[in-house]
Amino acid sequence: MSDTKNKVFYTWDDLAADIQTILDKLPYYNDRFNNIFGIPRGGLVLATMLSYRLDKPLITNAAEITPQTLVCDDIADTGTTLLSLLLNTDKLPLVVTLFYKETSLFCPNVYVHKTKDWIVFPWETLETSKYDRS
């Protein structure tokens, strides 16, 4: 990520606050999904937390994604992960992310922050965040 100017260290407290922000935005969409899928790896954390709070089942098999699935990821960075996952669906499911970069090829339905920064999430280290290109 050579265009990254800043590294932002996102905390568990930030995540807790952002989960509430997402929950505040979801009632508008609540009837559109009946299960939740998290894109490995960072999306699993968000999906698990939302699954508990919304009392919706967490699915772990991408083949089970339907238009009634809430798909979660930590960041829509380039958008290629989300696009490749959703490319073969007839009707797109609802997508939520914590962060969204305007340069992403895919814009989630719900996101909390727009950013240009390199985000280091609390479930990773500065070194391991390179592997996920976060």
107 near 100, Cβ under 8 Å? Answer: yes
Q: How crowded is residue 123: how many other Cβ atoms within 10 Å of its Cβ?
A: 15
Give, for 80, the enclosing helix (H) or strand (E): helix 80-86
Q: What is the mean pLDDT of residues 4-33?
A: 89
Fold that domain 7-130 belongs to in CATH: Rossmann fold (3.40.50)
pLDDT in tens, 67-105: 999 999 999 999 999 998 888 777 788 999 999 999 999
pLDDT in tens, 27-70: 888 788 999 999 998 899 999 999 999 999 999 999 899 999 99
Give the global pTM. 0.88
